[in-house]
Structure 1
Amino acid sequence: MRSPQATGTTPEQAERPLLAGGLLVATGLADVLSAYGTLRSGPFVVLSGGGLYPVDVTGWAWLHLVVGTALAVAGLAAVTGRRGAALVAIGCAVLALTVNLLMLPYAPIRVVLVTAVDAAAIRLLLRHRRATGGAG
């Protein structure tokens, strides 16, 4: 990887993909661990006026597992600074953000925290792309 001076970027701009990639890896691993825990447990039980109803979220857990793995790999790719890695990371982060928001009723605290971190990583990657002229 070239030095920040050779590419015409400041050290803060050079660190953005590193921080964003680390954030994406962390949230990807959080999704993977959450999905694994959901797969190992039974269905959720919903209490309503008519009684108790089991809600099976196994399909959502498998989706979280796949998206979380893809997000962690995309975060690692964003750290490398290769051309197009930031776009792939942004796409995976938007997908993960969408899937997380769909699980909001089942895990609201985790979803809000992970969504905020994903949004921060997306912002960092977009600012880095703008600062470097769209390369990377």
Structure 2
Amino acid sequence: MTSHVSGARPHTAARGTEASGFVGGWTMFAAVMMIFGGLMAIFAGIAAIAQDDVFVRTPSYIFRFNLTGWGWIHLLLGIVILVAGFALLQGAMWARITGVALAGMGMFANFLWLPYAPFWALTLIAIDAFIIWALCTPRRSEA
């Protein structure tokens, strides 16, 4: 049993940081949402590349690409978001910074994707908005 002078506690790590290298709080939430959103974008991309019948055909849409073009956009963006989400889970600062930019690009891509898969696009826009909010919320140790 150790005794401490005047009831002082031994020095511990600041709240919000962990010795294991993993993150906590809103950053953890953003990382999990980035991984989930990246996977959903990958699935949407694969389905669009395969010319699946799930998507609505919109012949007079101003931002019209063929379905395969949209599929490649979502597939590549989903892979990058997924990788950044795993890096954010490990606590990489570059992933925190680029996570906001990637979520913004994901919101933009899904906004343009609205006529093809409205429910899916709105769900991913909401997820990207939560990612941006969680990454821009100051951590407890910074406040």
State the TM-score, normalizing by the size of structure 1. Answer: 0.77
Larger Rg: 2
| Correspondence for 1:31 among 19, 37, 41 | 41
More deviation in 28-37 or 88-97? 88-97
Compared CA separation, residues 104 and 45, structure 1 to 2 (3 A)? closer
User: C-alpha distance in 1, partners of 2:31/2:70?
Assistant: 24
Deviation at 1:21, TM superposition (A): 0.4
Letter aligned with residue 14 of structure 2: T
Give 1 or 2: higher strand fraction. 1
Counterpart residue number, 1:7: 14
State the TM-score, normalizing by the size of structure 2. Answer: 0.73
| Correspondence for 2:120 among 101, 110, 113 | 110
TM-align CA RMSD: 2.8
Question: Structure 1: which 5+ runs fail to align?
Answer: 49-54
* 1:60 and 2:70 correspond: yes
Letter aligned with residue 135 of structure 2: L
CA deviation vs aligned residue, 1:59-94 (integer Å, no higher than 9, x gap)? 111011100110111111111112222001111111
Question: Structure 2: which 5+ runs fail to align?
Answer: 1-11
Deviation at 1:8, TM superposition (A): 4.4
Compared CA separation, residues 40 and 81, structure 1 to 2 (3 A)? same
Letter aligned with residue 39 of structure 1: I
Letter aligned with residue 35 of structure 2: V
Deviation at 1:42, TM superposition (A): 6.0
Count of aligned residue pairs for this structure pair: 123
User: C-alpha distance in 2, partners of 1:104/1:82?
Assistant: 32
Seq. identity, %: 27
